[in-house]
Chains A and B, each alone.
Chain A
Amino acid sequence: MTASSLPAEFADLQPLVAEWALATERERAVKRIETDIDLLIAFHDAVLPRIHDIIRYFNQLPNDPDALAPPQKTLYHLAEMFMEAAAPVDLGWSSGDIEDTFPMSRFEFVKI
């Protein structure tokens, strides 16, 4: 995705956008799985001090992700990625995924 700008009050997070503001659940899940734990921790540590501000910012907006303006949407995806990346960091895993689990690539996201 293109490196869309963030809302002005979150411009400090702009360096994270190109790599981490991923639009779909599958992209975010795969990103976490395929990223080294050191890089996940660095991303986590960069967003953590701002996550309360991010959530409070979104709680003032209408309750509809599809209605967000593009910079807001980018920030929202960044926040979703923060949630996705949390488990390996908080649980102390040595990589972005546990060993010996069912491959994410075999999940087909469908409407059924």
Chain B
Amino acid sequence: MDGEAVTSFRGDLANLPTRVDMKSILTAEHFAREREQIFRRSWLPLIHTADVPNKGSYFVYDLPTLKTSLLIVRGNDDKIRAFHNVCRHRGNKLVREGTGCTRALWCNFHGWTFDLDGALKLVTDEQQFDDLDKSKLGLIPVTTEVWENFVFVNFDPDPRESLREWLGPLYDQYSGYFQSHQLLVSNRIILESNWHLGVNSFTEGYHTLYLHRNTARDYQGGKTNPERHRPYLELAGRHHRFSAPGNPDHQILPVEGIAIQYGRKQLPAFDFDCSMLPPGVNPSRFDKWGFDNVSLFPNFVMLNGNHWRAEMWFWPLDERRTMVVNRAYTYKPKNLGERLSQAYFRSRGRDVVREDLNTLEAQQAMLSSGAMAEVVLSRQETCLKHHYRVMETMLRQN
């Protein structure tokens, strides 16, 4: 077809499914297997190192998917550790919620006190306990590793792969990128939808022509790529990423022009100059680049742009409900005018995300009706095919 851009595919493209049996995947039985064989065995990014900035900083992360709460703490040795957020005495939730900075962690029930490295330091009226070995009653650790700015955990007590192995080729390609942004906004949404549908919706660009026609009508593609084919799509181990095509013919709206004048281009206009970005961002160095979509299996999706990024987590509560965590980052503003510029793009981005979220409950309702079993996937939805292939592989492993 005239004007049709060609996607450069990378990675293992063999045996990708073109249809996926969602009827089976949306069941409670299927999710029970996913919880144990996928979520309990995967490296899961949770927060940024900047979320626990100082020695003694802690962050409570409730993780309903694995029916627990984690306490993530930066120790006096600057090492970041994650623990189950439970007092070893009688199981009280040690820190109820939120963030803070402390010299030690103590339980408000009986005052048991733990060091920042998890060691049990003080037991109130200790002599009244028989056979108490404090060295065996430290906080229960969860395997934790840091990659770039991200704190990852793995609930497998003996992970089968290191985080470096898990991330594979992505590991060395993002040096410095995440440090160049700061958190602008974070929000959370509880969806009546299965978590896969969330991941799927945010890992293809096929929908952008139609779903976003009212909020970002000309932000991708343009005259030379009217169907908005992804210029680059890579299956990288269990993960995947693609580049979204910016639109060189994008019409800048009046206030958007003001926001650009006093700040930098962010979605829906894109700064095509990526010469300062590390090799993992716009990996093919596509000249009309909009942003990258990077999905770390199983449930984390990043949109990586020039001067901005977004992060989405899809945490299943059960087979039909999902907690979405959404964070937006931008370049560090050097004046208040840049902050006002960012306020414009934050609003535009929110409208796009709201459209993305808006199909998920309707899909859930109809797919769980049983009326149809299989969904049908195009080459522009290759990341979805890969997601389900990886899912099947992990579910088959012992």
Interfacial residues, chain A to chain B (CB-CB below 8 A): 25, 29, 32, 48, 51-52, 55-56, 58-59, 61, 63, 65, 76, 79-80, 82-84, 86-87, 89-91, 93, 98, 100-102, 104, 106-112
Contacts and interface: CB of A to CB of B under 8 A. Distances in A.
Interface of A is mostly: helix
A80 B215 CA distance: 19
B365 interface: no
Given A55-B340, A90-B255, A98-B215, A63 B333 contact: yes
A79 B344 CA distance: 10
Given A90-B253, A109-B186, 5 more contacts: A63-B334, A79-B340, A86-B344, A107-B189, A110-B187
10 contacts: A29-B347, A59-B335, A80-B340, A83-B341, A86-B254, A86-B255, A93-B214, A101-B351, A108-B188, A111-B186
Contacts of A108: 187-189
Interface of B: 61, 98-99, 185-190, 214-215, 217, 253-256, 258-259, 262, 325, 333-337, 339-341, 343-344, 346-348, 350-351, 353-355, 357-358
A49 B98 CA distance: 43
Contact of A87 (B190, B334, B351): B351
B336 A76 contact: yes
A102 B334 contact: no
A51 B185 CA distance: 24
A112 B325 CA distance: 7
A110 B186 contact: yes
B343 A109 contact: no
B336 A58 contact: yes
B339 A65 contact: yes
B337 A80 contact: no
A112 B186 contact: yes
B340 A83 contact: yes
Nearest to B254: A90
A100 B357 CA distance: 11
A56 B255 contact: no
Contact of B259 (A32, A63, A83, A100): A83
A58 B215 contact: no
Contacts of A48: 254
A58 B336 CA distance: 6
B254 A111 contact: no
Given A84-B347, A109-B186, A52 B336 contact: no
A111 B325 CA distance: 10
Contact of B354 (A59, A80, A83, A102): A102
Nearest to B190: A106
B93 to A, nearest CB: 17
Contacts of A51: 258
Contacts of B98: 111
B315 to A, nearest CB: 10
B333 A106 contact: no
A98 B336 CA distance: 29
